[in-house]
């Protein structure tokens, strides 16, 4: 099956810093989503991005499907960005998405 | 509704009790998923519905776990004779179709004592 690796596993930054989170996957996919799980456990869908680049405010994501990786950029970090960021990939369907282990981000005030 | 709604938010059960967890997906969403999340781990797939049809239940850990979505909207995950290892957060998610953005509820945190 498809393997998903996220890096780094942990990241501690000061408020205002920028960060890049990476998701590598072992086979071709056409479904890739980034999620943020806040400290209260709510999973929020940030991007559906099987290829290309998208931006939403301070967040942007790029997926290079041919090279089997995706990057999530967070600019001007805020304390509310803290939590775990998951990448999930699959072929076609949300059915049986393969999840990475996540990147735990802590933003210090 | 505006988002995926799950209830109860917390459930404490004595070992051996039956529990029922409810999920109300976003109105009109065809696909509904149940996940189990252990502390510090990513979500693990349990089962998938397309409308009222349960198309995959391969992730259900045992035959004590049962899910239904009889009218293609609200879904219930039932766990019979709960065991301590069932303690986890149970997440429900829905999407408009099977390959679109996935939206999660707040989850039900189940503790079996």
Write the pLDDT tens digit of every residue in B76-86.
999 999 999 99
Look at residue B98 in the predicted model and tell me its pLDDT: 73
Looking at residue A93, what is its pLDDT? 64
Q: Is the pLDDT of residue B99 over 80?
A: no
Question: Does the pLDDT value for residue B94 go beyond 80?
Answer: yes
**Residues of A whose CB is below 8 A from B56:** 95-96
Share of chain B above pLDDT 70, in %: 99
Mean pLDDT for all residues in chain B: 94
User: Is residue A95 within 8 angstroms of chain B, CB to CB?
Assistant: yes
Whether the pLDDT of residue B1 is over 60: the answer is no
| CA-closest candidate to residue A58, choices A72, A37, A48, A44 | A72
- Residue A70 touches chain B, beta carbons under 8 Å: no
Nearest-by-Cβ selection for B99 from A44, A45, A94: A94
CA atoms within 13 A on the CB side of B86: 29
Q: What whole-number distance in Å separates Cα of residue B92 and Cα of residue B108?
A: 9
Per-residue confidence (pLDDT) for residue B2, from 0 to 100: 82
Percent of chain B whose pLDDT exceeds 90: 90
Q: Which two tokens stand for residue A1?
A: 């099956």
CA A35, CA A84: separation in Å to the nearest integer? 8
Which among A1, A3, A6, A2 is positioned nearest to A86, based on CA atoms? A6
- Strand duo A103-108 + A10-14: pairing: parallel
Closest residue in B to A30 (Cα–Cα): B99
Judging contacts by C-beta atoms under 8 Å, the chain A residues touching residue B30 are: none
Separation of CA A109 from chain center: 22
Residues belonging to chain B with any Cβ–Cβ distance to chain A shorter than 8 Å: 31, 33, 41-45, 48, 55-56, 89, 91, 93, 95, 98-104, 106-107, 109
- Could you give all domains of chain B from N- to C-terminal order, each with its CATH number? 5-101 (2.60.40.10)
Beta-carbon separation of B104 and A44 below 8 A: yes
pLDDT at residue number A96: 77
Which residue among A42, A100, A101 sits closest to B106, beta carbon to beta carbon? Answer: A42
| Three-class secondary structure of residue A28 per DSSP | coil
Q: Which domains does chain A have, with CATH numbers?
A: 4-100 (2.60.40.10)
First-to-final CA distance of chain B: 33
Residue B7 contacts residue B1 (beta carbons within 8 Å): no
Over residues B31-63, the pLDDT tens digits come to 999 999 998 889 999 999 999 999 999 999 999
- Mean pLDDT per 10-residue interval, chain A, length 109 residues: 95 97 95 94 95 97 97 97 96 78 96
Chain A interface disruption, residue of B3, B32, B42, B57, most A CBs within 10 A? B42
State the pLDDT at residue A94: 61
**A56: contact with B, CB 8 A cutoff:** no
Q: Which of A42, A36, A47, A48 shows the shortest CA–CA distance to A85?
A: A36
- Note whether B104 contacts A102, CB cutoff 8 Å: no
Whether B102 and A94 lie within 8 Å, measured CB to CB: yes
Give the per-residue pLDDT at B69. 97
pLDDT at B102 > cutoff 80: yes
């Amino acid at each position: 099956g498809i393997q998903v690796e996220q890096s780094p596993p942990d990241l501690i930054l000061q408020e205002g810093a920028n960060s890049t989170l990476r998701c590598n996957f072992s086979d071709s996919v056409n479904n890739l989503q980034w999620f943020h799980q806040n400290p209260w456990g709510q999973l929020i869908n940030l991007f559906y991005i099987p290829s290309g680049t998208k931006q939403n405010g301070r967040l942007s994501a790029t997926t290079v499907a041919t090279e089997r990786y995706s990057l999530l950029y967070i600019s001007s970090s805020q304390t509310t960005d803290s939590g775990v960021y998951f990448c999930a990939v699959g072929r076609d369907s949300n059915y049986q998405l393969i999840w990475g282990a996540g990147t735990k981000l802590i933003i210090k005030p | 509704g505006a988002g995926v709604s799950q209830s109860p938010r917390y459930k404490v059960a004595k070992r051996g009790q039956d529990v029922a967890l409810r999920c109300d997906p976003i109105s009109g969403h065809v696909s509904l998923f149940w996940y189990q999340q252990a502390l510090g781990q990513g979500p693990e797939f349990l089962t998938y519905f397309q409308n009222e049809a349960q198309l995959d239940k391969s992730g259900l850990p045992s035959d004590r776990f049962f899910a239904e979505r009889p009218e293609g909207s609200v879904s219930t995950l039932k766990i019979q004779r709960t065991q301590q290892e069932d303690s986890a957060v149970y997440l429900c998610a829905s999407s408009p179709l099977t390959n679109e953005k996935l939206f999660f509820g707040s989850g039900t945190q189940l503790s079996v004592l």
